[in-house]
Structure 1
Amino acid sequence: MTHRRRLKQQVDNQVRRMKKADRERPNLLAQTVFLGTLGLVMVLPIIGGLYLGHWLDSIMPGSPICWTLSLLFAGLVVGVFNVYFLIQNK
């Protein structure tokens, strides 16, 4: 009798875990929102770096696109780190 009770308890635990995993599985909307967030945290630093670099190039005499290229690269690096840390925290 003890063996049957232990087997029934194990099966019940497995069923509970499977139901919990099914409830917590991300749906299509959640995955779409996550991908959109990844895109934003990648693109916004790049756009910000381009805008700030262009503005600095326009007010400072000298090389025409030095700040733009430098801050574009900096924005790309920041965007990649943002995506990496967002994926690691998920």
Structure 2
Amino acid sequence: MKDSNEPRKTHHKRQDNFQQAVKDKANRKMTARKEGDRTIWYGLGMFGIVGWSVAIPTLIGIAVGVWLDLKLNDPYSWTLMMLFLGVIIGCLNAWYWIQRESQDE
């Protein structure tokens, strides 16, 4: 005589295996998040963010400086002053992004 509970046992066994697989995967994800699983792409992305956050204000500073040199007939080089200001603003901007990313850890 065949056991009528056999299909039910097989179903529960598969369900338990599936639940265990889901739990294992969730645990691996949580561990990776806690450990700060950083890839090469993350590093390149941060490098890009820092680079652009310095480059854009610097280029804007140069453009404004050139425009001021053309409009004003001063003995001072506005291009150099605005370049310096753009680099300072860019470095502060990059520092902000790095601080923000390090707080997310």
Q: Assess same fold via TM > 0.5.
A: yes
Match of 1:63 among 66, 69, 75: 75
Tell which structure's C-alpha radius of gyration is larger: 2
- TM-score of the superposed pair, with normalisation by structure 2: 0.61
* Other-structure match for 1:20: 30
Whole-Å Cα distance in 2 between the matches of residues 36 and 86 of structure 1?
Answer: 11
* Other-structure match for 2:52: 40
Unmatched 5+ stretches in structure 1: 1-15
| Root-mean-square deviation (Å) | 1.8
* Other-structure match for 1:7: none
* Deviation of the 1:64 alpha carbon: 5.7
Unmatched 5+ stretches in structure 2: 1-26
Amino acid at match of 2:67: W
Aligned pair count reads 73
Residue 81, structure 1, aligned to residue 92, structure 2: yes
Runs of 4+ displaced beyond 6 Å: none
Whole-Å Cα distance in 1 between the matches of residues 74 and 42 of structure 2?
Answer: 48
- TM-score of the superposed pair, with normalisation by structure 1: 0.70
The percent of aligned pairs where both chains have the same amino acid is 27
